[in-house]
Amino acid sequence: MSFRFVTRKVFAALATLVFVVCFNFFLFRVVESDPVASLYRGKNLTLEQRLELREQFGLEGSQATQFVRYLQQTAQLNFGRSYSTNRPVMSDIWERAWPTIALVGVSTLLSAVFGVLIGIVAAWRRRSKADYGWTGFTMATYSMPDFWLGMLLLVAFAVTLGWFPVGGITDTSSDATGVAKLFDQAHHMFLPALTLTLAYLGEYALVMRSSLIDTMREDYLTLARAKGLRDVAVRNRHAVPNALLPVVTLIAINFGFVLSGAIAVEAIYSWPGLGLLSYEALRGPDLPMLQGLFLVFSAAVIAMNLVADLLYAHLDPRVRTE
């Protein structure tokens, strides 16, 4: 992979980020709102107090003035203060990032691993009962709305059977620490993770199946069999690595979406992640929070797209020489 290739990709990613930063400012100002009025409705503030609050929230000045102030602050990674919590936006985002990374990260990993395995089995035994069964199952779960699936699992396993808690990230009445606390959090995370894993399993399974079926038609596999290699070896050493290319980039891109969370699933399970934070910010609307979240999500997607580009070029030499 040449330095020129990498530099070109990095500059493209940075240019996209700059565009997003500028677009971010104007996007949320389409919605007119008055956070001071909403937060302090009925509080009998004086005019001076209201003007001071508006200044605190950065609502004073023309749009151009606000835009310049926004660019200066963004360059310092200062996204202002949240309208609803009055705390620095980055503090709130940082606090809620870890539950999302844990939940969506684990779910993405599990759905990728199991999806790829299912895709391999379905493709290698295509038109068999195993193929029809697995393909049907993954298509069914993939087509289900994730919030509906979440409610089903919640009612079945948390409410009816009582095997899991109905929401939250931890048992508030427990004093557990260390490993016990981790086990408690894993217990709380099981159902939301299962929901997301099932919801996105089909994406990887279907792509892997399709890619492997294409690869299975290649002549070098016929040669490999002719050389006497066992079927399993032909599959694992020759077919799968080549079929994995599109799936690897899909996984890399999807990891970029980890931070944006899963709004519906986090709301159903009261999982205090960034998805729920986005939903709460949209209800305000909490402009600084929305701006900060949008920027963080966009930066993550841009970064992982760059990783996917470079990874694909590393795995497939044909790409870097084009």
Partner 1 sequence: MAELQRLHAEPHGQGDRRPDDRGDIERPRSEASRSRDTYILPEHIWGKLSAEEITKYAGEDGVGSGPFVLDEFKRGQYVRTKANPNYWGGQRPIDEVVFRIFNNPDAMVAALEKGEIDAAHNVPSQAFERLGSAENIVAVQGNQGGFDEIAINGGSGLKKPHPALLDRNVRVAIAHAIDKQTLLDRVYLGIGSVAQTVSPSPDPAWIPEIPESEQFAYDPDKANQILDDAGYEDKDADGVREMPGGGKPLKFSYYVRSNSEVAPPVAEFVAGWLKDIGIEIDQKSVDTDQLGPIIGKGEYDMFHWSWTPYVDPESQISYFQCDQIATADDPTLYNNDANWCDPEYDRLFKEQSVELDKEKRIEIVHRMLKLFHDSAFYQVFALTPDLQAHRTDRFEGWLRQPAEVGPVIFSNTSPTYFNLTPLASTSGGGSGTSTGAIVGIVAAAIAAVLAVVYFMRRRRTAGERE
Q: How far is CA 268 from the centre of its chain?
A: 17
By CB under 8 A, the count of residues binding partner 1 is: 60
Q: How far is the CB of 111 from partner 1 (least distance, A)?
A: 17
For partner 1, the binding residues in 281-310 under the rule CB under 8 A are 283-285
Of residues 102, 149, 251, 277, which one binds partner 1 by CB under 8 A? 277
Residue 271 has φ and ψ, to the nearest 5°, of -85, 115
Euclidean distance between CA atoms 92 and 103, whole angstroms: 18
Q: Does 174 bind partner 1 (CB under 8 A)?
A: yes
Select from 212, 257, 215 the least CA-distant residue to 116: 212
**Token digits of residue 141:** 């779960």
Both structure tokens of 11? 């500059």
Residues 6+ apart with CB under 8 A from 39: 83, 84
95 binds partner 1 (CB under 8 A): yes
DSSP structural state of residue 88: B
35 or 115: whose CB is closer to partner 1?
35
- Give 5 or 40: the residue with its C-beta nearer to partner 1: 40
Task: Lay out the site mask for partner 1 across 21-50 (x = CB under 8 A, - = otherwise).
Answer: ----------xxxxxxxx--xx-x--x--x
Count other Cβ atoms within 10 Å, centred on residue 211: 23
Does 178 interact with partner 1 (rule: CB under 8 A)?
no
78 touches partner 1 by CB under 8 A:
no
Task: Give me the least distance between CB of 88 and partner 1, in Å please.
Answer: 9
Give the relative orientation of helices 3-28 and 63-75 as an angle to the nearest 10 degrees. 140
Confirm if 87 and 289 have CB atoms less than 8 A apart.
Answer: no
Q: Of 113, 137, 144, 171, which lies in the binding site for partner 1, with binding defined by CB under 8 A? A: 171
Q: Which two tokens stand for residue 212?
A: 């492997």
The correct pick among 18, 161, 179, 226 for binding partner 1 (CB under 8 A) is 161
Binding of partner 1 by 226 (CB under 8 A): no
**Cβ closer to partner 1: 202 or 284?**
284
**196, 266, 294, 313: residue in contact with partner 1 (rule CB under 8 A):** 266
Asked if 1 touches partner 1 (CB under 8 A), the answer is no
Residue from 25, 270, 300, 319 touching partner 1 (CB under 8 A): that is: 270
Of the candidates 110, 28, 5, the residue with the CA atom closest to the CA atom of residue 291: 28
The gap between the terminal CA atoms of the chain, to the nearest Å, is: 11
Q: Kindly tell me which of 256 and 288 has the beta carbon lying closer to partner 1.
A: 288
What is the Cα–Cα distance from 115 to 136, expressed in whole angstroms? 13
What is residue 81's three-state secondary structure? strand
Which residues are near partner 1 by CB under 8 A? 31-38, 41-42, 44, 47, 50, 54, 56, 85-87, 92, 95-96, 151, 154-155, 158-159, 161-174, 183-184, 187, 190, 230-232, 266-270, 272, 276-277, 279-280, 283-285
